[in-house]
Structure 1
Amino acid sequence: MLSTLLRRSLSNLKRPGKNYNILVVGGGIAGPALAFFLHRYGMKPVVVERASEIRLSGQWVDLENEGKEVAWRMGIESKVRQKIAEEQGIHIVDSTGRPQASFDAHSFGEKDFVEQIEIRRPELANILYEHIRNDVEYVFGDSPQSIDDRGDIVQVKFASGNVREFDLVVGADGIHSKTRRLVFGDESSIAYADLYTAYFSIPRSDSDGNWVRFYAAPGGRSVALRPDSQVRTQIYLCFRSKERGYEYLGVDMQKHLLQKLFADVDFEAPRILRELPNSDDFYFNTVGQVRMDRWSRGRVTLVGDAGYCPSPLTGMGANVALVGAYILAGELSRHQDYNEAFKQYETWMRPYLAEAQKIIPGSVRLALPKTRTAIALRNAVLGFVFRPHIARFIGKLVTSKASRKSVLPNYEIVPTS
C-alpha cells in the first residue's frame, strides 16, 4: 500500500495543490524533511525550532526500507552513509564487564537481514538542516504560544511576541508536542512504557573499544556504552518507573536523579556518574507511544513523533518521521482542498504506522529485569540464541520474512543533487 501511495504522490506532481504558506513547528527529523518536500512542491514552509540551534543530543536511529527510500529521494542517502555506525557488535556483560552473551555485526548472516542504516539522531538532523537551510526560512529560539485557527487563516503568536499568519500549521515537535497540547488538549494520547532513558557522551577510555557493552542491573536499570568517535563514547542510562513527571524536571535535577538512582550500580557506572555533570549533550525523556484517533483539526495537523511516536522500543521513529513527512507533503501537493489532503495522509499512513508501532510483548521486562535471578536467566537465554549456528538459523528465518515485504520501485522523479 505504501508503495502505491509513493507512486501515486509522485505521478501527480504535475497537478500541484495550492501554494500554501505553512508553519512547521520542530526542527528535528520530521520537520526539516517535511519542509524539504513542501519547498520542492512549490509551497512556502517556515520552520520554527524552540532550541537556539540544531540539537546535538539524542540516540542512534535506524533507517530501513521506506525510510531509506525517502532519504534517497531527498538526495541525502550518501551523506547519511558517511555517518553510519561501525561498531563490531554487542556484548551483554555482567557487573565486572565480562561478556555473558555476544553477537557481532554478522551474527545473523553476512548481510544485515533488515538492511538498516544506523546513524546518530543529531547527525541526521544536521544533514537535513544543511540540505534545506538555503531554501527554507528557519527561526531558532522561538515556539508557538497560541495557535488561533480562524477558518480562513491560522494566526500564531510566538513566545518572542511575534504574531504571524499561515495557511496551515504542522506540529513536528516531538512526543511532548506543544502544538498537540494547544490544538488537541492534554497528553492523554501518550501510552507510557513505564521507562525512562537518558543519552549523553563522555570522554572515551581505552577500555571502550569497538563493541557496544550493555549491563542490566537489579531494579530494572541498565547501563550501555557505545563507541561514538575517537574521543567520545555514547552513554545510555535506562530505568523502569511508574512515576510520571521526571521528563519535566530541569536538566540539573534530571542529572541529580540519575546520580541517585545509579549510585549503587557496578560495571562502568561510577565512571559515567563522575562525568555526567560535565555533559553538554544530555537528553532525558520518558518512553511512550502517541496514539490519536485523528492527527488533524481544522488547518492544523501533526507529523512524526508529535502525532504518532512509535517509541524507541520499535526502532522506527526516524522511519515514520521521514515517511510521514513525505506522504503529507505529497498529498498537499495533489489536493486543492487541504481537508482532503489531510484525510488521504491519514488513510495512507495508518496501515504503515500500525506495523511500525508494534512492540514485542514484555520487551521492557526482558531488557531490564528486576532481580539478579531474572538477569542471569535472561543472559543464559541470550547466550544460547547468539551461538553462531542458532543465530544463522534465526537470520535465515527473518531474512525470508523480510523478503516478503514490498520494495519501493523507482519513480519518474529523481533525487535532487
Structure 2
Amino acid sequence: MRVLISGASIAGPVLAFWLARSGADVTVVERAPAMRKAGGHAVDLFRPAMEISERMGVLPGIMAHATGTTLLTVHRPWSSRPARIDYLKLVGAVSDRRVEIMRDDLSEIYHDATRDDVEFRFGDQITEITDDGDVSFRHGPTQRFDVVVGADGLHSGVRRLVFGDDVTEHFLGGYLSVLSVPKSFARKGEMTGYFEPRRVAMVYTADHLEDARAAFLFRPQRPLDYDHRDGNRQREQLHTAFSGMSAEVDSWLGEADDTPAFYFDAITQLEMSTWSRGRVTLVGDAGYCPGPAVGGSTTLAVYGAYVLAGELARSPGDPATAYARYEGRMRRPVSGSRTLARAVAKTVVPKSRWGVRALVGAGRAISILPLPLTQAVMRLNDKGVRLYDSLPLPDYEKSPGTVAAPGDST
C-alpha cells in the first residue's frame, strides 16, 4: 500500500510511524523547507497520547523536553498582589497522566522516530489529486498513491483541493498569538500571566529552550478583519489588542516585529459531514480542529492518527472500509472535544471582571484542596475536562489484520 501524507507536524509523523510499522510504503510531503526548530507554543498530551507515544518508544524523549512549569502567577489590574496557583495541581485535576511540551519539540521527536522508515519530502506541496490517486506536486513528477491523507492543519491544502467548501467553520470568538521573546523575560518553572476581561497575556520557558514564549489570547468585541497569511497586519492587531496592559506585556509586544517565530490565528472549529472522499481522508486539525489552544487538539491529532493507521492496517487495499471505521471511532471524541473547546474558550478568556475573579478563584481552590479530591470530583465528568483520559485506546498491534478493539463487533 502506497500512502502519501501531507503535513509533518504532529498527526503526519505519528500516522507515518504506525503505517510504516504495518508494512506500508509511506511518503510525507511538507510545505516548509525543514522541520521547525524554534517557535510554536506549549501543547498538552493527555493520557491516550501519552500511551501512544509510549508504544512508539518516544515517551522518554517527550518527558525530557517537558516545559517543567510548576507555578502560575496571575496579575490583575485591580489587585496589587498577584495570585499564585499550583500549576501541577491545576493540570493534575484535568488528567491523571499528562505532559506539557513545546509543539516544535514534539514534532521533532515524532519525526526522528519515523524518518528512517519513511520518505520525508520537505519544501514541496500537493497541487492536484485525481480520483485514481494520481498526485501532482509543485516540485517533482506526478505519482500514484493508494491512500492520500491530509494532516496539514487548520488551513489544509488537501481539504481545499478535495472537499472545496464542504466544511463549516465555527469561530469561537477569540484569537491566539505566540511569539519568541528573550529567555530573560520568563522565570524558571513559572508561567507569568496578566488577566483582564477579554484579554490574557502569559510568558513561560523551559530549561532546554534558548528563548521564552509569550502567548496572547483575546476576545475582541467583534471579529477582526483578519487574513491568516498577512503577518504584518496580524502584528498590528496584536499591538492594538494588548498595548498598555502592563509595562511587562508591552516589553513582550516590543519583540513582535523582530521575533524569529510568530504565530497568529483565529480560534476556530471545523465541522464536516465526512472526512473521507475516495482515496483521500483527513486527520487532526485538517479534518476536525476543535479550536487551537482550547480543545486538546494535539491529543486528538495523535489519537486520530493512531486510529486511522490501525484501521488502514486492518483493511489493506480497502481504504473505504478503513475510513468508515476510522470515522465511526472518532465521532465521539471529536464531538466531545468541540463541546469542551466551546466551554474552555468562554472560561479561559473571561468577558468580565467577575469572570476573571471566578477563574482565578477556582485555580486557588484547586491549589489548596488535596489533588486526589479534585481528581475524584473531575472524574465524575468524563464528557468535560476529563474527556481525553476516558477515551479507550485500541490495541491494533496484536494482529493488525484482524484485531477488534474493545466494544468493536466487527
TM-score when normalising by structure 2: 0.85
Q: Cα–Cα, structure 1 residues 306 and 25, in superposed 2: closer, same or farther, change >3 Å?
A: same
Per-residue deviation at 1:409? Answer: 8.5
Residue 290 of structure 1 pairs with residue 270 of structure 2: yes
Gaps of 5+ in 2: 400-410
Judge conservation of contact 1:180–1:306 (CA < 8 Å) in 2.
yes
Structure 1 stretch 64-73 or stretch 161-170: which is displaced more? 161-170
- Secondary structure (helix, strand or coil) at the match of 1:53 reads coil
Structure 1 stretch 246-255 or stretch 375-384: which is displaced more? 375-384
Residue 121 of structure 1: which of 103, 111, 128 is its match?
103
Percent identity, please.
32
Match of 2:55 in 1: 73
- Secondary structure (helix, strand or coil) at the match of 1:269 reads helix
Judge conservation of contact 2:126–2:138 (CA < 8 Å) in 1.
yes
Summarize the alignment of residues 23-172 of structure 1 with structure 2, pairs less than 5 Å apart.
23-55=4-36, 56-95=38-77, 99-107=81-89, 113-149=95-131, 153-160=132-139, 162-172=141-151
Residue 307 of structure 1 pairs with residue 287 of structure 2: yes
**Cα shift readout 1:325-363 (whole Å, capped 9, x = no counterpart):** 111111111214211111111111212323333326554
Match of 1:208 in 2: 187
Match of 1:246 in 2: 226
Match of 2:296 in 1: 316
Q: Cα–Cα, structure 1 residues 232 and 380, in superposed 2: closer, same or farther, change >3 Å?
A: closer
Residue 227 of structure 1: which of 180, 199, 205 is its match?
205
Q: State the one-letter code of the partner of 2:176.
A: T
Match of 2:365 in 1: 385
Greater relative contact order (Cα < 8 A, sep 6+): 1
Structure 1 stretch 40-49 or stretch 390-399: which is displaced more? 390-399
**Cα shift readout 1:61-86 (whole Å, capped 9, x = no counterpart):** 11122111111121111111111121
Once residues 394 and 52 of structure 1 are traced to their aligned partners in structure 2, the CA distance between those partners, rounded to angstroms, is 45
**Cα shift readout 1:370-390 (whole Å, capped 9, x = no counterpart):** 45x446643663465346138
Q: State the one-letter code of the partner of 2:203.
A: L
**Cα shift readout 1:47-71 (whole Å, capped 9, x = no counterpart):** 0111111123322111122111111
Q: Cα–Cα, structure 1 residues 132 and 235, in superposed 2: closer, same or farther, change >3 Å?
A: same
Judge conservation of contact 1:109–1:392 (CA < 8 Å) in 2.
no
**Cα shift readout 1:79-134 (whole Å, capped 9, x = no counterpart):** 11111121222122124995543221453698975321211110010001111112
Once residues 394 and 267 of structure 1 are traced to their aligned partners in structure 2, the CA distance between those partners, rounded to angstroms, is 36
Match of 1:357 in 2: 338
Q: Cα–Cα, structure 1 residues 209 and 130, in superposed 2: closer, same or farther, change >3 Å?
A: closer
Once residues 125 and 332 of structure 2 are traced to their aligned partners in structure 1, the CA distance between those partners, rounded to angstroms, is 31
Q: Cα–Cα, structure 1 residues 167 and 53, in superposed 2: closer, same or farther, change >3 Å?
A: same
Gaps of 5+ in 1: 1-19
TM-score when normalising by structure 1: 0.84
Q: Cα–Cα, structure 1 residues 333 and 215, in superposed 2: closer, same or farther, change >3 Å?
A: same
Q: Cα–Cα, structure 1 residues 32 and 245, in superposed 2: closer, same or farther, change >3 Å?
A: farther
Q: Cα–Cα, structure 1 residues 100 and 361, in superposed 2: closer, same or farther, change >3 Å?
A: farther
Once residues 92 and 241 of structure 2 are traced to their aligned partners in structure 1, the CA distance between those partners, rounded to angstroms, is 40
Once residues 284 and 70 of structure 2 are traced to their aligned partners in structure 1, the CA distance between those partners, rounded to angstroms, is 31
Structure 1 stretch 178-187 or stretch 156-165: which is displaced more? 156-165
Residue 176 of structure 1 pairs with residue 155 of structure 2: yes
**Cα shift readout 1:226-248 (whole Å, capped 9, x = no counterpart):** 12336422110122144255242
* Aligned CA-pair RMSD: 2.9
